[in-house]
Amino acid sequence: MAVILGEVLANRDKYVVAVGGDLRMVGSARELHTDLDQHPQEDLVIIGPDVDISAAADTAIRYRASRPSLGMVLVRRRLEVSTLNQALRSGIREVVGIDDTTELLGACNRSIALSRELRSHSDVSTPASKGHIVIVFSAKGGCGKTTISSNLAAAIRERTGQTVALVDFDLQFGDIGVALQLEPTRSIADAIGMHANLDAQGVQSMLIEYRPGLDVLLAPLHPSDVEHISADMAQQVLTHLQYSHDWVVVDSPPAFTEVVLRTFDMADEFVLLTTLDMPAIKNLKVTMDTLDALAMPRDKWHVLVNRSDARMGLSVEDVEKAIGLSVNNKIASSNDVPMSINSGEILFLSKPKHVVSREIAQLATDVTEKYSKAAGNEKPGLLARVRGAR
């Protein structure tokens, strides 16, 4: 059994010789991600010759810590030293030439044998269940991303009893630390010094506990650190958090940065914000077009109008007409929102009966609904307990 990334169907037979007929072929990293989620026992990924080396390395990095029993074999038209180096650094197990079927067979067999050996050690026999990522985004600034992401994180924690990590990926101007009055003793900037050793423990050491079961990963304190935080690093952080927390809620900057795009790529649910003003609505439309162009599935989208009762000459219906889609959630405007931020509180926690808190609770239900259904009668917080996390 194996899955092949980025290879054309016509070449399938070449691989059948090496791994047998039980093969699946996927065209993109995203499809691979979905496929591997559906096949938790899969041991082998063959990366085809047309996938460029950086994308191949990214794929290997994505799984090397979270799913160490999964082996990657890279197929190349020409074997070059620089390719070998990059491949091995990323955790790809073998690199073989496209025309060498015997070597491909050998590489696949060696990788499968190693995977079986790793699986025989109980702690990697099956990958732990993964937490879900929610990104809160608007391309226009000031629409309420930070307000909604922090309230949503608290609401998911309270309503599901599951563990939540709130991540500030507004790397340059992140203000979750200020909004929650957290002392910035740790932040994602700590990852810079860890380089290739950014492991699960390293990520845990960057978190600040806001309250039990609700951890926060702050943006760097110094803007100069931002340039050292790459999309790969962000991806590694999110991957580790997915294995330590049931939910990862990501606050974002008002721009499609590399880190934001990578987060969208990994996220299970998107909360797309607008307010009732033309620039915000226009930017929501641009966001939707961009996500469509990137083939981001629409069943992940939750369109949310913040300050939906503000009298600004436009209504929620006007938004729906402009974007050609129904609005899923609304959050009222209230002075209690800035007041809660000024006192370092999350409104959902300090005033759970407030109209804004009730609407946030509805958002939390909508975002988590399909997973609680999928999990059937799974007890709240089970995932965290199984992992013996924190």
Ligand X SMILES: Nc1ncnc2c1ncn2[C@@H]1O[C@H](COP(=O)(O)OP(=O)(O)OP(=O)(O)O)[C@@H](O)[C@H]1O
- Residues forming contacts to ligand X in the complex (CB under 6 A) are 138, 141-147, 170, 254, 306-307, 331, 333-334, 337-338, 341, 356
Rounded to the nearest whole angstrom, what is the least distance from the CB of residue 85 to ligand X in the complex?
Answer: 40
Is the separation of the CB atoms in 149 and 346 below 8 Å? Answer: no
Structure tokens at 202: 């390293």
In whole angstroms, the minimum distance from the beta carbon of 228 to Mg ion comes to 21
Q: Which does 315 bind (CB under 5 to 8 A by kind): Mg ion, ligand X, none?
A: none
Number of residues that bind Mg ion (CB under 5 A): 2
Look at residue 341 and give the partner it binds from ligand X, Mg ion, none, a contact being a CB closer than 5 to 8 Å depending on partner kind.
ligand X
Site for Mg ion contains 146 (CB under 5 A): yes
Say how many CA atoms lie within 13 Å of 254 toward its Cβ: 16
97 binds, among ligand X, Mg ion, none (CB under 5 to 8 A by kind): none
Q: Min. distance of Cβ 366 from ligand X in angstroms?
A: 17
Q: Which residue is nearest to Mg ion (CB)?
A: 146
């992940």: which residue's tokens?
A: 300
Nearer to ligand X, 208 or 331 (CB): 331
Shortest reach from residue 137's CB to ligand X, in Å = 9
CB of 165 to Mg ion, least distance (A): 17
What minimum distance in Å lies between the beta carbon of 367 and Mg ion? 19
CA angle 273, 372, 125 (to 5 degrees): 110
The listed partner (ligand X, Mg ion, none) that binds 259, CB under 5 to 8 Å by sort, is: none
CB of 202 to Mg ion, least distance (A): 26
Closest distance between Mg ion and the C-beta of residue 311, in Å? 24
List the structure tokens of 29.
């990293």
Nearer to Mg ion, 145 or 262 (CB): 145
Binds 274: which of Mg ion, ligand X, none (CB < 5-8 Å by kind):
none
Asked if residue 251 lies in contact with residue 169, where contact means CB atoms within 8 angstroms, the answer is yes
Residue 279, C-beta contacts closer than 8 angstroms, at least 6 positions apart: 140
Q: Decide which of Mg ion, ligand X, none touches 51; Cβ closer than 5 to 8 Å per partner kind.
A: none
Residue type, 64: R
Q: 215 pairs with which residues across the strands? A: 165, 209
Residues 6+ apart with CB under 8 A from 255: 139
Choose between 168 and 359: whose C-beta lies nearer to Mg ion.
168
Q: How far apart are CA 207 and CA 218, in angstroms?
A: 8
3-state helix, strand, coil in the chain (%, to 5): 50, 15, 35
Torsion sign across C-alpha atoms 167, 382, 66, 271: negative
Q: What are phi and psi of 151, to 5 degrees?
A: -70, -40
Dihedrals phi, psi of 134, to nearest 5 degrees: -120, 125
Measured from the CB atom, the residue of 108 and 143 that comes closer to ligand X is 143
Distance CA 350, CA 357 (A): 9
Residue 150 is a binding residue for Mg ion (CB under 5 A): no
Interaction between residue 340 and Mg ion (CB under 5 A): no
Q: Does 252 bind Mg ion (CB under 5 A)?
A: no
| Contact indicator for 228, 191 with CB cutoff of 8 Å | no
According to the binding rule CB under 5 A, does residue 149 interact with Mg ion? no
362 binds, among ligand X, Mg ion, none (CB under 5 to 8 A by kind): none
Enumerate binding residues for Mg ion (CB under 5 A). 145-146
